[in-house]
Amino acid sequence: MPHTAPVQDWATDFDVLDPRYVSDPFSIWDDLRQTCPIAHTDRRKSSWLPTRYDDITDIAHDIAHFSSLKVAVIPGDEDDDPNANFDGPNLEYGLPPISADPPLHTWTRRLLLPWFSHTRVDSYVPLTRELCRGLLDQFADAGHADAAADYAQQIPVRVIARILGVSTDLSDTFTGWVRDVLEFADDPERRQRGAEGLLNYFLAQLEDRRQHPGDDLLSELLTTEVDGQPVDDGIVLGMAALVLIAGVDTTWSAIGSSLWHLAAHPDDRKRLAAEPELMATAVEELLRAYAPVTMAREVTEDIEYHGCPMKAGDKVLMNFPAANRDPEAFDQPDEVQLDRAHNRHVAFGSGIHRCAGSNLARMELQVALEEWMARIPEFELAEGQEITWAGGQVRGPRILPVVFP
């Protein structure tokens, strides 16, 4: 069973799944930055947690010492053996390019990037807008909604399904698998169930595309040649699974956290309603303040990093959300300033693993907020109703009851 004893000492025994960390990691990071900016834990596996912007971006760029072969924040069976106890399709290459180092990273990333270029993403705007409006139609007159489950959760999965060329009818199933893999990673059975569901589904889809190719990402991956050779099936499968896993929980969490912020901070909500031209800057600021994603790296050889004796095989949690709250890098970091002019946030990471879908995520967040604010400019948290947050690899609200006139 997972180690769930409450954390007493965050510097030497941190736990990103501790309820306090999930609900308010910000004060923990502030304390650590002052006292022990790279924390350590032996829970689950020896892992390090940097909290300073400069350390996190520095580690992200040092791919020789910090490999991306194992990026799960919560260690799983794949930390020992990628196919251990996994009675399903093999993923000997993991989920490239996110769980790859060069050279595999380089060419798999080049295959994906054009699907998420800003010109391609512009072409997904109309369907995203239509989708948001359809969701709002379902509850705008009701006076209340779960902004996470009824809205945020419903958007990215459908856009990604369209890009992959898979049925949006299965959106809830996809969401379930992705949550099993990312949010319930501490439950081995659930994690495996999600992974199996997802991989078996994509295996069948790849067979189908071989027979009936379309103009979707899966079909293109199957027909692409690299250096005169078709792409290995295991790599295609990993890339397909990655696009779904990376494109669902993450953006949904960013949309949900942004709506939570606006519901809980009436001054910001009113300002954004009155000054819609602030939206693009506000989106970057909300991404900074509520960056949802923490990735992991694996130490490749024993090194002393800023006084920390890191051993080969240790995890380093790439705490991009904490980097974004570092007062050395941002003025008044714990304050959301919707017009923040200088904002080198790293919500999408830093270095060669910069989120390949960042243009898409940014567009989805902006369109989701624009459409919500246009239809429901006045809303607030529903008094007395519980809000729940997911944490670990991806942080964001999962139940977010709001009320509106």
Partner 1 sequence: MKIRVDSEKCQGHARCYGLAPEIFDVDDYGQASVLLDEIPPELQEKARLAVANCPEYAIEIISE
**Residue 364 contacts partner 1 per CB under 8 A:** no
Q: What Cα–Cα distance (Å) separates residue 111 from each residue in 3, 221, 225, 403?
A: 40, 8, 10, 44
Give the number of residues in contact with partner 1, rule: CB under 8 A: 24
Q: C-alpha angle with apex 175: 174 to 180, nearest 5 degrees?
A: 100
Stretch that binds partner 1, among 82-90, 112-120, 252-260, 368-376 (CB under 8 A): 112-120
**Residue 212 contacts partner 1 per CB under 8 A:** no
**Residue closer to partner 1 (CB basis): 159 or 291:** 291
The minimum distance between CB 109 and partner 1, in angstroms, equals: 8
Positions in 329-358 near partner 1 (CB under 8 A): 341-346, 348, 350-352, 354, 358
The minimum distance between CB 193 and partner 1, in angstroms, equals: 35
What is the rounded CA–CA span in Å between residue 301 and residue 66?
9
**Residue 179 contacts partner 1 per CB under 8 A:** no
Phi, psi of 75 (to 5 degrees): -60, 145
**Residue 8 contacts partner 1 per CB under 8 A:** no
What is the rounded CA–CA span in Å between residue 396 and residue 116?
23
Stretch that binds partner 1, among 117-125, 152-160, 229-237, 247-255 (CB under 8 A): 117-125
Positions in 276-315 near partner 1 (CB under 8 A): 280, 284
**Residue 359 contacts partner 1 per CB under 8 A:** yes
- Of the candidates 205, 232, 204, 235, the one whose C-alpha atom is nearest the C-alpha of residue 218 is 205
The minimum distance between CB 158 and partner 1, in angstroms, equals: 23
**Residue closer to partner 1 (CB basis): 148 or 287:** 287
Both structure tokens of 9: 């000492």
Task: Provide the angle, in degrees to the nearest 10, between the axes of the packed helices 188-211 and 233-264.
Answer: 120
What is the rounded CA–CA span in Å between residue 9 and residue 5?
11
Task: Name residue 247's amino acid.
Answer: G
Q: Residue 151: count other Cβ atoms within 10 Å of its Cβ.
A: 25
What is the rounded CA–CA span in Å between residue 221 and residue 165?
12
Q: What Cα–Cα distance (Å) separates residue 189 from each residue in 4, 47, 160, 196?
A: 17, 23, 26, 10
The minimum distance between CB 63 and partner 1, in angstroms, equals: 12
**Residue 110 contacts partner 1 per CB under 8 A:** yes
The DSSP symbol for 13 reads S
**Residue 118 contacts partner 1 per CB under 8 A:** yes
**Residue closer to partner 1 (CB basis): 340 or 395:** 340
Both structure tokens of 286: 């909300």
- Of the candidates 267, 262, 271, the one whose C-alpha atom is nearest the C-alpha of residue 147 is 262
The contact mask relative to partner 1 for 227-266 (x = CB under 8 A, - = no) is: ----------------------------------------
Stretch that binds partner 1, among 109-117, 145-153, 211-219, 295-303 (CB under 8 A): 109-117
The minimum distance between CB 117 and partner 1, in angstroms, equals: 4
Tokens 């991306």 sit on residue: 68
Where does this chain bind partner 1 (CB under 8 A)? 57, 110, 113-114, 117-120, 280, 284, 341-346, 348, 350-352, 354, 358-359, 362
